[in-house]
Amino acid sequence: MMEWGMSVGKTCITCKDTPGFVVNRLLGPYSAEALRMYERGDATAEDIDLGMKLGCGYPMGPLELSDYTGLDTKKAILAVMLEATADPIFRPIPVLDRLVDEGKFGRKSGEGIYKYEK
């Protein structure tokens, strides 16, 4: 698979067969903690995102990214990761549940953590 991936111009990485592989295993806790910080009122969504963009050089903050990929998708990924790992970092997040229940999925619905013009 590495050979094939490189042959189509991709940069490939390897890891053991583990839930979430590399990216989702790291991205899940990162975005979950950002959602929990937002929910507790530790910082605004804008400050959480700007802090990670400026502090870590990320092109998009964790809440922006969650809206971009879809809050419903984020909720489903966290549920799968909780079932696969039993790690409490993946436990349900009330603000995420509420937004999804209200149909606020992020960019694709026009509102999530942020509001978007259609």
CATH of the domain at 90: 1.10.1040.10
User: What is the span of the domain harbouring residue 52?
Assistant: 22-109
Tally of structural domains, the chain? 1
Q: Is 45 exposed, middle or buried (0-12, 13-18, 19+ CB in 10 A)?
A: buried
Rg (CA), the chain: 16
Measured distance CA(49)–CA(62) in Å, rounded: 6
Note down pLDDT in tens along the chain; length 118 residues.
Answer: 999 999 999 999 999 999 999 999 999 999 999 999 999 999 999 999 999 999 999 999 999 999 999 999 999 999 999 999 999 999 999 999 999 999 999 999 999 999 998 7
Does 87 reside within a domain? Answer: yes
Query: Which element (helix H / strand E) includes 74?
Result: helix 71-85
CB 78 within 8 A of CB 27: no
Does 28 map to a domain?
yes
40 is a domain residue:
yes
Give helix 94-101 / helix 23-40 axis angle, nearest 10°: 90
Residue 5 domain flag: no
Does some domain include residue 95? yes
Residue 114: CB atoms within 10 Å: 17
